[in-house]
């Protein structure tokens, strides 16, 4: 069974298995969340800056 994942469009926060009323990171409302499937279909590029940032921090 796969858990639902929601992604905040404002800050990119990824919520797995729950759907809070507001983003715990930036406080955006529920209407700003999309499912991870929608996110990868529509906003695939959005994940790239995060990965680059993580790589930069790790190196």
Angle (CA) 24 21 52, round 5°: 40
39 binds Zn ion, rule: CB under 5 A: no
* Contact residue for Zn ion among 8, 15, 33, 39 (CB under 5 A): 8
- How far apart are the C-alpha atoms of 54 and 59, rounded to whole Å? 9
Nearer to Zn ion, 48 or 59 (CB): 48
- How far apart are the C-alpha atoms of 54 and 39, rounded to whole Å? 19
* Contact residue for Zn ion among 4, 18, 22, 25 (CB under 5 A): 25
34 binds Zn ion, rule: CB under 5 A: no
């Amino acid at each position: 069974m796969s858990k639902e994942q929601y992604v905040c469009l404002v800050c990119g926060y990824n919520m797995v298995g729950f759907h809070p009323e507001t983003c715990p990171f930036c406080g955006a409302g529920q209407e700003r969340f999309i499912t991870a499937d929608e996110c990868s279909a529509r906003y695939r590029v959005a994940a790239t800056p995060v990965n680059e940032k993580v790589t930069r921090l790790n190196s």
